[in-house]
Amino acid sequence: MSTLRTHDDTWDIATSVGSTAVMVAAARASETASADPLIRDPYARLLVAGAGTGVWEMLLDDTLVDKVEAIDPEIAAVYHHMRNYQAVRTHFFDAYFTDAVESGIRQIVILASGLDSRAYRLDWPAGTTVYEIDQPKVLAYKEQTLAANDVTPAAQRRTVAIDLRQDWPAALIAAGFDPAAPTAWLAEGLLMYLPADGQDRLFEQITALSAPGSRIAAETAGNHRSDERREQMSDRFNKIAETLGLTQTVDIQDLIYQDEDRAVVRTWLDEHGWQANAQPSTAEMRRLNRWVEVPMGDDSDAFSEFVTAVRC
């Protein structure tokens, strides 16, 4: 179970689960600025720079990995692996949306959208509506930051400012969502922050709103490392942060639900009216030549799968 979560906790972009969106955007910004980027997110740096989380903004420093390597080479490899993983994950789900709109889908829902900028940066066909669901303060930060920099959406964008533990289906429909139209759903960087029953409930709600031909893509929770290994890695990260003078406001491991009863996403979908496929993230990283050897590289349970499915 998570040690910092409660049933009614909330956050903005600089605290708790909200701050993890800054980490992910920082990885996208670093990848975009690299010599041979796998993905391009021209808005990620803007969104990270003003977030006020401290430690995650440091990921924009091109010399950070070199500094970390001088302290702990294995942890430097983990940083490099993390950036590569985020690039591969983004690439995979970008392609998912490209395939979805090519099939004729024009209704998109991004769950717990955080600092996702796909509504702004992807090439959406005319008539596409992108719904973003997240905490009110998170959505407000993104919208205000991009508007202040004259960035406008590339599709019709509608925000649904609500916690996913509340009645978000009613709020989504109130925002104009049509349950009779095929939808492409995305649950990226989300399931690990839900308990097992919360994950089941989320998929039940999505299924109830999904017309035949709808699609879903999800990143599984993964990260089932032993308590001993998690503690060892946390201690090493803390030592590096202290040495470099970085302020850590939260340990991500404390936000994640390590729930042994969590359903296997592909199996759940197959049993509830979907046809699902799962791609191990490790295989996708290797396919794209982005795999980095890391201390937990031999532990398959520590890594997620990218699951896609079509509603029957």
Query: Could you tell me which residues come within 8 angstroms of residue 5 by beta carbon, excluding any fewer than 6 positions away?
Result: 193, 255, 257
pLDDT number for residue 73: 84
Q: For residue 249, is pLDDT > 90?
A: no
Looking at this protein, which amino acid is placed at residue 34? S
pLDDT value for 103 = 98
Q: State the Cα–Cα distance between residues 29 and 33, nearest whole angstrom.
A: 6
Structure confidence at residue 2 as a pLDDT band (50, 70, 90): very low
Q: Are 98 and 175 spatial neighbours (Cβ–Cβ below 8 Å)?
A: no
Instruction: Give the model confidence (pLDDT) of 202-243 as tens digits.
Output: 999 999 999 999 999 999 987 555 566 667 767 777 777 777
Above pLDDT 90, what percent of the chain? Answer: 64
- What is the rounded end-to-end Cα distance, in angstroms, of the chain? 34
Average pLDDT over residues 188-203: 96
The pLDDT, as a whole number, for residue 251 is 62
Q: Measured in whole angstroms, how far is the alpha carbon of residue 255 from the centre of its chain? A: 14
Q: Which two tokens stand for residue 75?
A: 């942890």
**Cα(302)–Cα(296) distance, rounded to whole angstroms?**
7
- Specify the DSSP class assigned to residue 301: G
Distance, C-alpha 36 to centroid of its chain: 22
Report the greatest alpha carbon distance in the chain: 56
Q: What is the mean pLDDT of residues 137-160?
A: 96
> pLDDT tens digit string along 274-284?
999 999 999 99
